[in-house]
Amino acid sequence: MDKAQYTNLAKAWEFTEEHAREKESALIAAARESAEQSGQPQGSAAQAQLLSMLVHITGASSVIAVGTGSLVETIQLVQALHGSGQLTAVDSTAQGIAMIRKVFAELQDTTDTSLRAVNAPANVFLPRLNANDYDLIVVAGDAANYAATFAQASRLLRSHGIIAFTDVLALSSQQGGVLDAADRSGKATAMRELLTTVEEDETFESTLTPDGTGLLLAVKK
């Protein structure tokens, strides 16, 4: 692939992202702006819409969103459920869970989807959930969320259930993330280890895509 093709790929990512931002609902756009103003950077709009599409494609009705202030992805998943099923949001930070609870309170009167917001680390809360009860798990935010959630994924997911890991390339790192072999920061190191762990797990089929800042999808066999 030559330099021009790489340039076009970068332009394609920018175009797709801008297009997705234009399509965001008023609620998501307002939530994104509020979160980012409070120092909680939000993920790619195109990636959030892809996660929403996964809900539609799979017919998911029971979803877990594990994140750190991941407001946009959480709302997108709620809207994708179209008033049915249940969504559990897990955030270990006080600020993150406060934002999610505020939005959930606003949504309660307009949706029949069961919404639950839990302020706890993934490795503490997820082991308490029922086995084989979930269709989709989305993971974002702090590095600690990823391995802890994958450790429970095989138990929690139904057959053909999906776990989606966002920001797998750790591009928020000031040192270049997974793309830079010299980056040994916590998130980059954790994502390299996660890739190896997921891809070697014979109970899942997985693929890494460049969506957003790197999206790793794994389907339980």
In this prediction, residues 212-217 reach a mean pLDDT of 96
pLDDT band at 174 (very low <50, low <70, confident <90, very high): low
Q: Which residue from 109, 55, 105 is spatially nearest to 77, judged by alpha carbons?
A: 55
CA distance 219 to 181: 28
pLDDT band at 6 (very low <50, low <70, confident <90, very high): confident
For the stretch 118-163, pLDDT in tens is 999 999 999 999 999 999 999 999 999 999 999 999 999 999 999 9
**Are 138 and 204 within 8 A, CB to CB?**
no
Per-residue pLDDT for 173 more than 70? no
For the stretch 7-18, pLDDT in tens is 999 999 999 999
pLDDT band at 177 (very low <50, low <70, confident <90, very high): very high
CA distance 48 to 157: 21
Which is it for the CA torsion 131, 62, 119, 74, positive or negative?
A: positive
Tokens of 162: 């999906």
pTM of the model: 0.96
Would you list the DSSP string of 179-215? G-TT---HHHHHHHHHHHHHHH-TTEEEEEE-STT-E
Per-residue pLDDT for 196 more than 80? yes
**End-to-end C-alpha distance for the chain, whole angstroms:** 34
For the stretch 53-100, pLDDT in tens is 999 999 999 999 999 999 999 999 999 999 999 999 999 999 999 999
pLDDT band at 171 (very low <50, low <70, confident <90, very high): confident
For the stretch 107-128, pLDDT in tens is 998 999 999 999 999 999 999 9
Fold adopted by 3-220: Rossmann fold (3.40.50)
**Are 211 and 46 within 8 A, CB to CB?**
yes
